[in-house]
Amino acid sequence: MKDKVISFFVKKMNKEIGVDSEINDMGYFGLDGWALMSDFFDEFEIRNSEDFEIYSFFVEELSFIDFMKKGYKKRIKEKNSLSINHLIKVAERKEWFDPIYSTS
């Protein structure tokens, strides 16, 4: 499953991705983040994806001016981490669960 999840995100994001990569720190925010995660949920047939709270992980839509401000990186760091490692576990379970409640 690890290789499938990594391959999925490499193709979608056109970036180098590893197990420890945090996908919400790679330039996706707002609706782009939602589309990315929606595609992930569909591709891996994830149950209860409606429980995924987009703005817990991705910064909301930003204007060009907001994007250029130094505070942008700080806003990303204020969000919960969303690692490939966690998404591999989600794909294995075929069920969304919040990483802060992950026990394995």
Give the residue among 96, 99, 82, 79 at the shortest CA–CA distance from 13: 82
pTM of this structure? 0.82
Query: Which helix or strand (DSSP H or E) is residue 75 part of?
Result: helix 71-77
Q: Rounded mean pLDDT of 80-103? A: 88
Q: Rounded mean pLDDT of 58-87? A: 73
Q: What is the pLDDT of residue 3?
A: 96
8-61 residue pLDDT tens: 999 999 999 999 999 988 878 788 899 999 999 999 999 999 999 988 888 877
Instruction: Find out whether 82 and 98 touch, Cβ atoms under 8 Å.
Output: no
